[in-house]
């Protein structure tokens, strides 16, 4: 059994209709529930719940402080390659795009990582396009072994792997896995992913299962906002998060909110998500998954990020570069997308403090792995 077997029990069109048909009375009843079930999730994601957004946000704020305290964890991405074999229509790394490509050597990636460490980060996310022939598993094993003395926490957001390859990376020192399904709508998935290994919906969907079986300490999920109806997408994203929290209870599950940003290829989202809609998504997910981390990246504007800090966010990136070599040799390669919040990390940290929260560069130590 995997999440693919569970998701098959729910029809996209049926869930979408239920969300749209929810009434004000449904929302009031769900807000009165002590714990939220799937029916409550449907009601709170509905247009009818928009007039209750202030109450939902206040509850999200209180629940987040109860479960996580007043802290915001910080991390930075390190892009090691923008080569990709996929042709995802929305991505700047699309194999069909004529862009400047670059794959860092292990030494070059370590140089980038030292810059990130000097900025204060102790939590790093390694990112690459999906081209295992360019950056194979062995590349990441070698890189992680070099980075372990610099970073207590190392995560990967790269091409999906078999369980045994994930186990090898965990042995090298990786503790976190991030993988975005992009869309849970299987009928539309192929439209956005016409070729490459990523076109295999089930292989992609079961990646967190393989990561959980391998033993990752942290597993991150996300849906790419703008591809489909965000309300229905959020239902399935929440369903996935609940499944992982129950099956792999030793792993910490987090959810990211990647809204589509300008990138090479000039893809235009058919379902743009407004700021208010994103607030509804984030706060409802907090109520439904009170123990999940909620991650906000530099895709969002500084103003929006600052104001979301008290509403349920537990982790933020800062000072991000989304192209390989971006920290030491800027503009030598194409970025995956344009970031929005370009403030340096020290400015983001000061804002977090002004909001009454503690910025945390490092929340655990590798020594815990042996305890």
For residue 371, pLDDT over 50 is answered with: no
**What is the three-class DSSP state of 291?**
coil
**What is the three-class DSSP state of 340?**
coil
Please give the pLDDT value at position 333.
Answer: 83
Rounded distance between C-alpha atoms, residue 191 and residue 89, angstroms: 8
Mean per-residue pLDDT over the chain, rounded: 94
Rounded distance between C-alpha atoms, residue 176 and residue 127, angstroms: 12
Q: What confidence tens digit (pLDDT) does each residue in 48-96 have?
A: 999 999 999 999 999 999 999 999 999 999 999 999 999 999 998 999 9
Q: What confidence tens digit (pLDDT) does each residue in 227-273 have?
A: 999 999 999 999 999 999 999 999 999 999 999 887 766 788 889 99
305-330 average pLDDT score: 94
DSSP secondary structure code for residue 337 in this structure: S
HEC string for 133-161: CCCCHHHHHHHHHHHCCCCCEEEEECCCC
- How much of the chain exceeds pLDDT 90, in percent? 91
Domain boundaries, the chain: 3-360
End-to-end CA gap in the chain: 30
What confidence category does residue 368 fall into, taking pLDDT thresholds of 50, 70 and 90?
very low
Please give the pLDDT value at position 364.
Answer: 54
Rounded distance between C-alpha atoms, residue 188 and residue 199, angstroms: 11
Q: What confidence tens digit (pLDDT) does each residue in 125-137 have?
A: 999 999 999 999 9
- 3-360 folds as TIM Barrel (3.20.20)
Rg (CA), the chain: 20
Please give the pLDDT value at position 264.
Answer: 66
């Amino acid at each position: 059994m995997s999440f693919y077997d569970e998701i098959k029990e729910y029809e996209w069109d049926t869930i979408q209709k239920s969300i749209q048909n929810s009434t004000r009375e449904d929302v009031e009843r769900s807000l009165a529930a002590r714990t939220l079930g799937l029916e409550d999730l449907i009601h709170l994601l509905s247009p009818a719940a928009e007039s209750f957004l202030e109450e939902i946000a206040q509850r999200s704020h209180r629940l987040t402080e109860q479960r996580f305290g007043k802290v915001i964890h910080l991390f930075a991405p390190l892009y090691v390659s923008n080569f990709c074999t996929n042709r995802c229509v929305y991505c700047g790394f699309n194999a069909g795009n004529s862009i400047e490509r670059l794959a860092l050597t292990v030494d070059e990636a370590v140089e980038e990582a030292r810059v990130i460490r000097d900025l204060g980060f102790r939590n790093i996310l390694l990112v690459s396009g999906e081209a295992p022939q360019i950056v194979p598993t062995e590349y990441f094993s070698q890189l992680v072994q070099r980075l372990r003395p610099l970073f207590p926490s190392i995560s990967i957001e790269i091409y999906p792997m078999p369980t045994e390859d994930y186990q090898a990376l965990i042995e090298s020192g990786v503790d976190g896995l991030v993988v975005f399904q992009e869309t849970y709508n299987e009928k539309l998935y192929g439209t956005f992913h016409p070729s490459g290994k990523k076109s295999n919906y089930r292989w992609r969907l079961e990646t967190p299962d393989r990561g959980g079986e391998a033993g990752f300490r942290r597993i991150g999920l996300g849906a790419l906002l703008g591809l489909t109806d965000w309300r229905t997408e959020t239902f399935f994203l929440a369903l996935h998060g609940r499944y992982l929290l129950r099956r792999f209870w030793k792993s910490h599950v987090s959810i990211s909110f990647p809204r589509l940003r300008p990138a090479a290829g000039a893809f235009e989202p058919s379902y743009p998500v407004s700021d208010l809609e994103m607030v509804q998504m984030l706060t409802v997910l907090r109520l439904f998954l009170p123990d999940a981390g909620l991650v906000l990246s530099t895709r969002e504007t500084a103003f929006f990020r600052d104001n979301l800090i008290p509403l349920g966010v537990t982790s933020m990136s800062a000072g991000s570069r989304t192209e390989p070599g971006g920290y030491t040799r800027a503009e030598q390669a194409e970025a995956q997308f344009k970031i929005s919040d370009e403030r340096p990390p020290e400015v983001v940290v000061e804002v977090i403090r002004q909001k009454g929260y503690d910025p945390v560069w490092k929340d655990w130590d590798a020594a815990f792995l042996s305890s």
